[in-house]
Amino acid sequence: MPARGLCAHRGAMTTHPENTLPAFEEALRLGAQMIEFDVQLTRDGALVLMHDATIDRTTTQQGQVADLTLSDLKRADAGVRKNARFAGTRIPTFEEALAVMPRNVWLNCHLKGGAELGAAAARVIEKTGRRHQAFLAATAGAAQGA
For 118, list phi and psi in degrees, rounded to 5: -60, -45
- Strands 34-41, 47-49: pairing kind: antiparallel
Cα 14 from Cα 82, distance rounded (Å)? 9
Is 51 assigned a catalytic role?
A: yes
Question: Do the beta carbons of residue 23 and residue 10 sit within 8 Å?
Answer: yes
Catalytic residue from among 9, 16, 110, 132: 9
Is 9 assigned a catalytic role?
A: yes
Question: Do the beta carbons of residue 49 and residue 92 sit within 8 Å?
Answer: yes
* Residue numbers annotated as active site: 9, 51
